[in-house]
């Protein structure tokens, strides 16, 4: 990358500022509410950022700051920003045209690669966002079972549509009894009736789910098979196996929402990593390294319902340029690459643990190699959403601001996404910044 005015070491005398971003967000707020195009980009301290470009693990913002990026587009950029092989494939495809409302060979190749890698995937249909793919999966499950009810879990996120945007991040005051959580909407304007067919349960509690499914009226259980939105929580010993058995016994479709875990935790996602195969799974994010691709995949008898009454649509589904990106991404994601990224994620985890222990910060550091989570204030790793409510969010936001000033961009929700470009040198710079950020916060009494 070229040298920039704000480039420097991670020491306090080189703290970055974000005035250009702040000004541009303020100006752009005239045309876009909040100056952004997604609510998940709002309310970020000290300001939502405006970016110029990115390469590898680095983003350059409107102030010329070079930032080590752990947002990675909220997860997709597993090969880093602007990977050469993907850019070449996309550019070549663009020369052939943009959108045909018809099929292409590149789309068939993308489908073949997904089916080859994902254990549950006998067939696949593409969409352009995870939220949509989840709607397709729910519709297929309802058509297959003739039932309406869906079970989801507290703290799991399945997109922003009315029928699933419940109990995503409820406050303790709203959430009710831990064993029988209250269904809490996450947005104003959400159709109240859209939640009527939804039951919310605590995750990682098999007995409660078994009891619910035994009533025989649930079309589908949907879950993040490893919790990544609210924290980084692995399924308990035998939990996924138990869920699988309870779904099979009650004729319930098991849906793994692998929008984050898919093509990130392993080539075959969490279902490969934890060796439990759902009936259907949804994908997005890392499937195409930043292009708008999502997918619903699963058993062919279920997927075939898409030609027997289930309507699945989308103008931009399997858009050829995005499909070229999918093929290039999936071909790049070799077992060696997953191992390398996991190694760097483990190094990041170990480094955090060492810093927090040496500087006496109470924090849980958990993860799955290619994904890491830090929870300030937690004495031990969380097992479910309720445990995560103990996180000291204001202190962590301070930490993120201090990191940003030192050239590291990390999500305020505690998540750290790794890419192949986060090599040992990048991790070392990150840990250097984290150590200095904690030192500064401790010295000023903010941590």
Catalytic residues: 157, 257, 285
DSSP conformation letters of 111-172: HHHHHHH-TT-SEEEEESSHHHHHHHHHHHHHHHHS--EEEEETT----SSTTT-BSSS--H
Enumerate residues 6+ apart whose C-beta is below 8 A from 357. none
How many residues form the binding site for ligand PMP (CB under 6 A)? 15
In degrees to the nearest 10, what's the CA dihedral of 262, 268, 271, 272? -140
- Minimum distance, C-beta of residue 279 to ligand PMP, in the bound complex (Å): 17
- Minimum distance, C-beta of residue 261 to ligand PMP, in the bound complex (Å): 8
Spatial contact of 247 and 253, defined as CB atoms under 8 Å apart: yes
Q: Which stretch binds ligand PMP (CB under 6 A): 253-261, 375-383, 392-400, 424-432?
A: 253-261
Spatial contact of 282 and 258, defined as CB atoms under 8 Å apart: yes
Cα-only R_g, the chain: 22
Instruction: Calculate the CA 289 to chain-centre distance.
Output: 12
- Minimum distance, C-beta of residue 66 to ligand PMP, in the bound complex (Å): 26
Spatial contact of 217 and 151, defined as CB atoms under 8 Å apart: no
> Is residue 414 close enough to count as binding ligand PMP by CB under 6 A?
no
Restricted to residues 23-42, the positions that interact with ligand PMP (CB under 6 A) are: none
* Closer of 47 and 131 to ligand PMP (Cβ): 131
Spatial contact of 62 and 51, defined as CB atoms under 8 Å apart: yes
* Closer of 259 and 365 to ligand PMP (Cβ): 259
Binds ligand PMP (CB under 6 A): choice among 81, 158, 212, 264: 158
* Closer of 292 and 347 to ligand PMP (Cβ): 292
Instruction: Calculate the CA 159 to chain-centre distance.
Output: 11
Instruction: Calculate the CA 95 to chain-centre distance.
Output: 32
> Is residue 260 close enough to count as binding ligand PMP by CB under 6 A?
yes
- Minimum distance, C-beta of residue 135 to ligand PMP, in the bound complex (Å): 10
- Minimum distance, C-beta of residue 378 to ligand PMP, in the bound complex (Å): 21
Binds ligand PMP (CB under 6 A): choice among 86, 259, 321, 363: 259
* Closer of 44 and 427 to ligand PMP (Cβ): 44
Restricted to residues 89-148, the positions that interact with ligand PMP (CB under 6 A) are: 129-131, 134
* Closer of 130 and 414 to ligand PMP (Cβ): 130
Restricted to residues 70-99, the positions that interact with ligand PMP (CB under 6 A) are: 74
> Is residue 284 close enough to count as binding ligand PMP by CB under 6 A?
yes
| Cβ neighbourhood burial of 237 (10 Å; 0-12, 13-18, 19+) | exposed
Binding site for ligand PMP (CB under 6 A): 74, 129-131, 134, 157-159, 224, 229, 257, 259-260, 284, 294
């Amino acid at each position: 990358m070229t040298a920039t005015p704000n480039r420097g070491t991670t020491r306090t005398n080189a703290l970055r500022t974000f005035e250009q971003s702040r000004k541009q967000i303020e100006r752009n707020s005239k045309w876009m509410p909040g100056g952004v195009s997604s609510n998940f980009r709002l309310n970020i301290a000290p300001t939502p950022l405006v970016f110029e470009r990115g390469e590898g693990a680095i983003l350059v913002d409107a102030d010329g700051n070079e930032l080590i990026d752990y947002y990675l587009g909220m997860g997709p950029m597993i090969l880093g920003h602007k990977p050469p092989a993907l850019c070449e494939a996309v550019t070549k495809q663009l020369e052939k045209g943009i959108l045909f409302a018809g099929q292409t060979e590149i789309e068939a190749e993308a489908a073949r690669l997904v089916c080859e890698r994902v254990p549950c995937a006998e067939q696949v249909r593409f969409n352009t966002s995870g939220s949509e793919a989840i709607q397709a999966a729910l519709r297929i499950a309802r058509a297959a079972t003739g039932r309406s009810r869906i079970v989801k879990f507290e703290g799991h996120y399945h997109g922003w549509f009315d029928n699933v945007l419940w109990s995503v991040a409820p406050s303790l005051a709203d959430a009710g009894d831990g064993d029988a959580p209250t269904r809490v909407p996450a947005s104003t304007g959400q159709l109240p009736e859209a939640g009527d067919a939804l039951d919310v349960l605590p995750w990682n509690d098999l007995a409660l789910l078994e009891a619910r499914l035994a009533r025989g009226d649930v079309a589908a259980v949907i879950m993040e098979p490893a919790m990544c939105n609210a924290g980084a929580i692995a399924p308990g010993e035998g939990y996924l196996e138990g869920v699988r058995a309870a779904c099979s016994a009650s004729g319930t479709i098991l849906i793994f929402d692998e929008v984050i875990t898919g093509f990130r935790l392993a080539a075959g996602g969490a279902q490969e990593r934890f060796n439990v195969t759902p009936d259907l799974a949804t994908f997005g994010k890392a499937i195409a390294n930043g292009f708008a691709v999502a997918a619903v995949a699963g058993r062919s008898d279920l997927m075939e319902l898409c030609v027997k009454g289930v309507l699945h649509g989308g103008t931009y589904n399997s858009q050829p340029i995005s499909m070229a990106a999918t093929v290039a991404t999936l071909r790049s994601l070799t077992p060696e690459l997953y191992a390398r990224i996991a190694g760097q994620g483990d190094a990041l985890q170990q480094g955090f643990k060492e810093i927090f222990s040496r500087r006496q910060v109470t924090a849980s550091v958990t993860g799955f190699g290619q994904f890491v989570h830090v929870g300030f204030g937690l004495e031990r790793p969380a097992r479910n959403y309720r445990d995560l409510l103990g996180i000291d969010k204001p202190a962590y936001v301070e930490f993120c601001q201090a990191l940003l000033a030192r050239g590291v961009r990390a999500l305020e929700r505690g998540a750290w996404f790794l890419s192949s470009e986060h090599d040992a040198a990048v991790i070392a710079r990150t840990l250097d910044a984290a150590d200095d950020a904690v030192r500064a916060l401790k010295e000023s009494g903010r941590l």
